[in-house]
Amino acid sequence: MVSALDPEIAGQLAEDLPPAVFRRIIATFETDLGRLTAELQACAVTANADGYQRAAHSLAGAAAAVGAIRLASEARLAMDPLQPEAPATLLPRLSAESRLAIAELHSLAQA
């Protein structure tokens, strides 16, 4: 199975930063994910396209920053106003990618 993380980015971060700092970043990322996923869902329900795209943009940025490349790609799809996929299709996939990325980051932190 292809990793949820880009090993160069996530691995470099783990290498550049003290373990405690790296763990703190994962915690911040988790909080970000929770907040932004909730925002995406709320915007999808209320058909707030602008808010949906803003939340997706932030999620893409956060994911890319820790090397969660597959999650970042899904978020970029949500950012794209021309993308044909409905939130109902995309959001579950995005949540699944989030869980995978978090799990792999925790593994990396323990390595």
Q: Which residues bind to another protein, rule: CB under 8 A?
A: 9, 12-13, 16-17, 21, 24-25, 28-29, 31-32, 57-58, 60-62, 64-67
Q: The tokens of 69 are what?
A: 């490349």
Nearer to another protein, 19 or 92 (CB): 19
Helices and strands counted in the chain (H then E): 5, 0
Nearer to another protein, 23 or 93 (CB): 23
Whole-angstrom distance, CA of residue 88 vs CA of residue 30: 22
Minimum distance from residue 49 beta carbon to another protein (Å): 17
Residue found under tokens 């803003």:
54
Minimum distance from residue 44 beta carbon to another protein (Å): 20
Q: The tokens of 65 are what?
A: 């920053």
